[in-house]
Structure 1
């Protein structure tokens, strides 16, 4: 028996009609809203809210009778719909909500008699399953917000599943992309099974098993080094494609739900650990430019990869409940995601680098399989997928920030930031939660809960919190004792108003990197040296003046080594004390991820060193044991997410230390950079 047939036989034998429950469940779309600085990160005022007006791949002309491969349910339209459903709802955008409603109705109106959905109806185009999956995920969220759409969508999905099952039995519908992204369809099938099975549990579970059998067995595909140094033993090149692997991280917890095999959970945990051990970035993401790229600081991380890994990590936590997934997602969200977007969210990079001293057409090109233009900030700096798919990042982080227990009795506050929640728990328990905070730009969270009935409120305490405390209803300060696996603390919330004040301080820590270099962290934020830069518009889309491509070049020195001793580093926040932070949480500069506006910084001892470029566009690996070529000084590191040109993996030297007086430099290190 072939390995694939054996896999299917094992999966089918293990599958039962009863799915294993998730530890936690998401709330309906619209129950969680961003506030404060986070509200401005939802991109309807940037590229996301205007793509449909001018960008060919998602304009209405393309999905109504268009001939493009990217027609409405191939890639671009499906990506766009999946991202813009939560964008529109979170921002209460009438325009976007009307567009997504129109898109949904068009797709369902054009379903073929046999159940097929997509532009291949009445054409001779080959029919592959994958392009529909993001659309399905978006449609599920839309139904959560508008339950009156439920019957129509569920009817269409059940018709499609029947056809998809037959196609899989006949060996049809699976191309190289569907073979790697089958887990997204499994999650859709599980939603049907959990909430709208209509007596079709056997068909749904059989389809789940056949999808896994038809695709990449992800438990075997996580390598232990850069792919340039390895031979893929399985033959399918796209199994080491970064975005596919970011999506594939959720395949094994999805499999567990229908196999009930603990081995699937164990493999999911190991795969996650291997990925970040051998390819992880201080920014929280991992490297792949286009394929897995190892640990070198100048190799790239694709923006699509970041948002898909965020979504996978959220799903992993919901199924398994391990703190490491939530901590990693929050680190990615507050570092890797904003770093690769312009502050106004009209431009993005296809690839970001941890050490990035220019953003321009690169010669030589450090990316073996991507174009030399890939780190330019613009509309479409490489493949168009990221132009459309990145816009799911912030909205889906927000929609996964609060969860419920399976019995809907209790609430879990998973991600930390400024939110407002209004949801109905078990037995019509209407609960409202307001979180006022600057986090991750501050250490204080003020939470106000109004509940019509008592329940248990859980709050995640990140692993990086040191000496954290909680005050409940203005009482005494309590020490935090989170659960060792989930990272959650529990509070009994009574009927009426409950006020919680959390103090989540963190220490400066250093992370060893390649070539004896280090990265600097405090709490969820990675810190980097923000290289002063020039910006030059090198192209502008004739249809939209905001859609420009920007070349960025350094206009100041950046060749620094720093002292690796955290005791010689000092943390500063422009809001001097806790009371200011709370009183002024709404006054944080916006957009918050802007090089000119960071309120937090870390002062570190540094000296200039010899650090050459490769060609004239990107920096070589950090020199080991460098010699200082000038006097010691103090430089300021700022949150990685606000930087566009940066050094974040530093060579190391040992400072004398005695001549550095941080007290005299406090005002200097707190001044924002000006360009």
Structure 2
């Protein structure tokens, strides 16, 4: 339904650009210097990992480099893409693997690097290195020949088969050769049937399985949309059905699905993986783009403005593997782990607190969000996300001036003499909207179809009041607009040990609470206070918007043997006086209490 604008047509502005700049200055922009799995990867002729980590990293690093037009980053992109393409085999095989070991090589990384190639070619345009498109074509055709000769998907590739439809769709639009569709059909035939796993997903994992792996699940929602785009299959709503099913049994307050590392139930003290947040965001972006279903854009916003920033430090030099909705401490336990299959250190902040997949994959979260601010619609331009950015395309220049989600209005500046339809998606949470001073019901999409005359402005304001939302467990959390709010817990940082090639700001650390955290809501009254938006958009020390709430202390204990709060307090009875306390945006907290009881 919608098409992405690539090839440098979207330029992030305001806080969004600043967030991308912080990403460049932090881990993502420096992994090629400090982390062996990128700096010395087999993909570029080194001795370290030659599977998913470099492609994961490039999947975010490429749009980051091009949207910021950063010459240093662009040179790094060219170096890595040149190394990958120049090392491919004569038959098209593109991964760093000896020919006699191909049968053992998990094809997930193969599908991923081919997806990355499409992203690179789209952004680089005529500036792409010679042979890039040929490398993509030959790589996917090599894969098709392997399938024809009896090669089967296994392990990760079997559970992520639909990711291969993305480069095949790209090729189909340009070549439309029979083998392309046949390769897609083989992927679908040999890949996992996720709908058949629905019943398995009703319980939390007791051990590690592909079937309940949280990243596989975060990715899989888009398989029907991709099959619709590739084969013309009907959209039956299976993605929504599976979404509702998983949210029922494992959903949390910030729109993600608990899994540490496999499905972990709905409790607020279990974790969910950074990779799953980034992949779930990408899933929402793909489904929204193909179907135009606004629900997926709403889900995207909830993840992007809450779960994504919460699990990465302000300077983006450290990240968690697992975050928790009620995260009252991040301390390595002396005994075994509280998490389902991850180690107890998985909620530390650092370079690689658990597996390195999140270290590489965190790159894609913010850049791909920026890629999806605007879409090309059948009738013109769709402003899909209310984020600060400029689009310069063949029919118009459109700029969105806004501090959303920290503020709830935006001005759309259109410069064009063409006739086209400008559409603005309105988030579902808005109770009503005001357009150039006129108040109206939330219509889902506000549209202006006209011949534009030079420079024109449209100001859209969204109406909401802060409120409490009750979870099925009986606890409540505060919400205002697209953001969830939490009680911030002051902390003390304690370093664990050094990581990386040289000492630096990525060293792993614990967070120890230095204040009382056991509280409940005394009433449902919440007041908004807007503050200055600073240099760090989701600052944990100076948030740009807060809620004032009335809270009272309650008795709430740790899980035995762990610095983890129990999922429920001992009682909802207040054990002290009511006090006014400021709640911070969930995404602007390191330690927090999000779900709380209503005290009596």
Q: What is the TM-score normalised by the length of structure 2?
A: 0.94
CA distance in 2, matches of 1:276, 1:228: 12
Say if 1:168 and 1:214, in contact at 8 Å, map to a contact too: no
Secondary structure at the aligned position of 1:516 is classed as coil
Partner residue, 1:14: none
CA distance in 1, matches of 2:304, 2:71: 27
Single out whichever of 606-615 and 619-628 deviates more from structure 2.
619-628
Say if 1:298 and 1:366, in contact at 8 Å, map to a contact too: no
Instruction: Please identify the structure whose Cα radius of gyration is greater.
Output: 1
Could you tell me how far 1:175 is from its partner in structure 2?
Answer: 2.1
Say if 2:43 and 2:95, in contact at 8 Å, map to a contact too: no
- Which string of whole-angstrom CA distances, capped at 9 and with x for unpartnered residues, describes residues 249-277 of structure 1? 11111112234332x53212211222223
Please say if 1:488 is aligned against 2:445. Answer: yes
Partner residue, 1:210: 186
Q: 1:571 aligns with which of 528, 540, 547?
A: 528
Secondary structure at the aligned position of 1:534 is classed as strand
CA distance in 2, matches of 1:229, 1:153: 42
Please say if 1:423 is aligned against 2:393. Answer: yes
Partner residue, 1:274: 245
Secondary structure at the aligned position of 1:572 is classed as strand
Within a 5 Å distance, the mapping from 1:438-449 to structure 2 comes to 438-449=403-414
Could you tell me how far 1:536 is from its partner in structure 2?
Answer: 1.9
Q: 1:309 aligns with which of 261, 271, 280?
A: 280
CA distance in 1, matches of 2:155, 2:411: 48
Say if 1:227 and 1:291, in contact at 8 Å, map to a contact too: no
Please say if 1:402 is aligned against 2:347. Answer: no
CA distance in 2, matches of 1:458, 1:492: 8
Say if 2:433 and 2:442, in contact at 8 Å, map to a contact too: no
Partner residue, 2:137: 158
Partner residue, 1:412: 382
- Which segments of 5 or more consecutive residues in structure 2 lack a partner in the other structure? none
Partner residue, 1:582: none
Flag the 1:403–1:344 CA change in 2: closer, same or farther, 3 A.
Answer: same
Q: 1:613 aligns with which of 527, 546, 558?
A: 558
Q: Quote the RMSD (CA, aligned, Å).
A: 2.1
Flag the 1:564–1:216 CA change in 2: closer, same or farther, 3 A.
Answer: farther
Q: 1:559 aligns with which of 508, 518, 522?
A: 518
- Which string of whole-angstrom CA distances, capped at 9 and with x for unpartnered residues, describes residues 309-363 of structure 1? 0000011111222221100101100100000000000000000000011112134
Flag the 1:41–1:518 CA change in 2: closer, same or farther, 3 A.
Answer: same
CA distance in 2, matches of 1:253, 1:519: 32
Please say if 1:32 is aligned against 2:10. Answer: yes
Single out whichever of 116-125 and 628-637 deviates more from structure 2.
116-125
Partner residue, 1:623: 569
Say if 2:7 and 2:125, in contact at 8 Å, map to a contact too: no
Number of equivalences:
592
CA distance in 1, matches of 2:133, 2:250: 40
CA distance in 2, matches of 1:246, 1:616: 28
Flag the 1:124–1:645 CA change in 2: closer, same or farther, 3 A.
Answer: same
Could you tell me how far 1:150 is from its partner in structure 2?
Answer: 8.4
Secondary structure at the aligned position of 2:288 is classed as helix
CA distance in 2, matches of 1:39, 1:151: 30
- Which string of whole-angstrom CA distances, capped at 9 and with x for unpartnered residues, describes residues 62-114 of structure 1? 4333344x22xx11111122121011112222121111112112222222121
Say if 2:555 and 2:570, in contact at 8 Å, map to a contact too: no
CA distance in 1, matches of 2:229, 2:14: 37
Q: 1:114 aligns with which of 91, 100, 124?
A: 91
CA distance in 2, matches of 1:589, 1:499: 26
Q: 1:180 aligns with which of 159, 167, 191?
A: 159
Say if 1:435 and 1:448, in contact at 8 Å, map to a contact too: yes
CA distance in 1, matches of 2:273, 2:325: 12
Say if 2:470 and 2:476, in contact at 8 Å, map to a contact too: yes
- Which string of whole-angstrom CA distances, capped at 9 and with x for unpartnered residues, describes residues 383-426 of structure 1? 00000111110001110121111x4x4011111121111122xx
CA distance in 1, matches of 2:281, 2:157: 20
Partner residue, 1:641: 587
Secondary structure at the aligned position of 2:568 is classed as coil
- Which string of whole-angstrom CA distances, capped at 9 and with x for unpartnered residues, describes residues 356-388 of structure 1? 111121345220200111000101000000001
CA distance in 2, matches of 1:224, 1:521: 32
Please say if 1:525 is aligned against 2:483. Answer: yes
Partner residue, 1:324: 295
Q: 1:261 aligns with which of 215, 233, 236?
A: 233
Q: 1:501 aligns with which of 459, 467, 476?
A: 459
CA distance in 1, matches of 2:13, 2:251: 30
Say if 1:29 and 1:399, in contact at 8 Å, map to a contact too: no
Flag the 1:247–1:229 CA change in 2: closer, same or farther, 3 A.
Answer: closer
Partner residue, 2:168: 189
Please say if 1:136 is aligned against 2:136. Answer: no
CA distance in 1, matches of 2:471, 2:573: 19
Q: What is the TM-score normalised by the length of structure 1?
A: 0.84
Q: 2:542 aligns with which of 586, 594, 597?
A: 597
CA distance in 1, matches of 2:101, 2:249: 44
CA distance in 2, matches of 1:35, 1:520: 29
Flag the 1:416–1:180 CA change in 2: closer, same or farther, 3 A.
Answer: same
CA distance in 2, matches of 1:603, 1:563: 12
- Which string of whole-angstrom CA distances, capped at 9 and with x for unpartnered residues, describes residues 560-582 of structure 1? 011453xx22222236xxxxxxx
CA distance in 1, matches of 2:129, 2:46: 28
Secondary structure at the aligned position of 1:373 is classed as helix
Flag the 1:152–1:63 CA change in 2: closer, same or farther, 3 A.
Answer: closer
Say if 2:326 and 2:592, in contact at 8 Å, map to a contact too: yes
CA distance in 2, matches of 1:292, 1:331: 20
Secondary structure at the aligned position of 2:458 is classed as strand
